[in-house]
Amino acid sequence: MIGRTLIIFLVCCSSITVFSFIKNAPPSLKKQKAIRTIIVDAGHGIMENGGHNGAKGSYSYEDDICLAISKEFIKNLQKELPEIKVVETRPTEKITSLTRRANIANENKGDLFFCIHVNAAVPIRKREFIGNKTVTYYTGKGSNRKKKTKQVPQYKTYTVSNPAKGTETYIWGAHKSEEKELAVRENAPILQEQDFKKTYGDIDPNSPEFVALSLLKTKQYFKRSATLAGFVQDEFAKVGRVDRNVKQRGVGIWVLQATAMPSVLVETGYITNRAEEDYLNSKAGQKELADCMIRALKTYIDWIEKQQDETDKRNNSSNTNKSRDVNNFLKMIEEKEKAYVR
């Protein structure tokens, strides 16, 4: 009886010790969150001369709408996911240069970059027949010269508003990956993880090994950006928005090219369509758009954390020690990259 009591006592003490260790485990032993910092970029902005920089609708401007939707998105983000740090590239109505936007994102070590814009469509040019006009002309020469007439059709041209509507999300084009890879290399010090040098040693950003690492990271960014963009479009479609799909851009979007992280640019709607313009300017429309992006973000976080859990299990099951040289680091990144394939 005494022996049994002693065993029970020892088990209880062990359990208390283990529980206490887990509860008071240092931060370094706790699982790191997949998304810690999100960069929110409100497109365009008011220039120094007071002029608007974005597209114009019948009564509103893209600059103002982008900022309003961004503020609604940030408000909801801080409410739904308070543990995530939010950094704004354009917190006020004033414009921020494109180069500075990318630098802000990289300097703050963003895990995701959300760029919010409003689309515009060129007016449709039309041609309408309005009747015939009698035109006089002559044939022949000298005494053979004769006067004749003919009917020439007349048209008037005019433009009408483009009915284009809906949302589309852009990512940096895969065919331009070498430019994204350059951005990764240029921002090498910013990309370093916590205890990077302690774990992996010094890595020269100009070395062939680091170039290979940059290319791998670029591939990861593309796949994660495409996945997030797909989730965003799915949520818009669920609330009845016209889904204009995920699209790639290889030119004209510096913030997607120069940000060393998964990045998306959301074209929330068409300011050149009056019904869309009313929606984009309404509180209900702005809230709906923000809510869609929040739900997409949550789905993305669940997805990426699941991939990380599977990778961690695979890594923990092996008994091999992690080497600190570049080759093993690249091998580890390659394994993670395979896990991120959607």
243-259, pLDDT tens digit by residue? 999 998 766 577 887 78
Same-domain pairing of 177 and 45: yes
Same-domain pairing of 174 and 46: yes
- Residue position matching structure tokens 């170039």: 211
pLDDT band for position 201 (cuts 50, 70, 90):
low
CATH of the domain at 235: 3.40.630.40
Report pLDDT digits (tens) over 82-138: 999 999 999 999 999 988 998 899 899 899 999 999 999 988 898 999 999 999 988
Residue-level pLDDT at 46: 93
275: in domain: yes
Q: Report d(CA 223, CA 232) in Å as an integer.
A: 14
The residue among 30 and 223 whose pLDDT is bigger is 223
Residue-level pLDDT at 159: 83
* pLDDT at residue 64 greater than cutoff 70: yes
Q: Report d(CA 269, CA 54) in Å as an integer.
A: 13
Same-domain pairing of 79 and 170: yes
52: in domain: yes
Same-domain pairing of 45 and 173: yes
Residue-level pLDDT at 340: 41
DSSP for residue 322: P
The residue among 191 and 157 whose pLDDT is bigger is 157
- Are the CB atoms for 57 and 50 separated by under 8 Å? no
| Helix H or strand E encompassing 263 | strand 263-270
209: in domain: no
Same-domain pairing of 255 and 284: yes
313: in domain: no
Report pLDDT digits (tens) over 111-120: 999 999 999 9
Same-domain pairing of 231 and 304: yes
Residue-level pLDDT at 237: 97
* pLDDT at residue 18 greater than cutoff 80: no
Q: Quote the domain boundaries for residue 287.
A: 35-120+165-181+220-308
Same-domain pairing of 139 and 251: no
| Helix H or strand E encompassing 294 | helix 283-317
* pLDDT at residue 9 greater than cutoff 70: no
Q: Report d(CA 87, CA 185) in Å as an integer.
A: 23
Same-domain pairing of 61 and 169: yes
155: in domain: yes
94: in domain: yes
Looking at every residue in the chain, the average pLDDT score rounds to 78
Average pLDDT of span 153-176: 86
* pLDDT at residue 10 greater than cutoff 50: no
DSSP 171-203: EE-GGGHHHHHHHHHHTHHHHPPTTHHHHH---
315: in domain: no
Same-domain pairing of 241 and 304: yes
* pLDDT at residue 320 greater than cutoff 60: no
Q: Report d(CA 103, CA 92) in Å as an integer.
A: 18
Domain count, the chain: 2
pLDDT band for position 63 (cuts 50, 70, 90):
very high
pTM exceeds 0.75 = no
Residue-level pLDDT at 229: 95
Residue-level pLDDT at 315: 62
Same-domain pairing of 73 and 175: yes
* pLDDT at residue 155 greater than cutoff 60: yes
- Residue 101, class by beta-carbon neighbours within 10 Å (0-12 exposed, 13-18 middle, 19+ buried)? buried
Same-domain pairing of 143 and 104: no
SS3 content of the chain, % helix, strand, coil (to 5): 50, 20, 30
* pLDDT at residue 198 greater than cutoff 90: no
19: in domain: no
Same-domain pairing of 295 and 245: yes
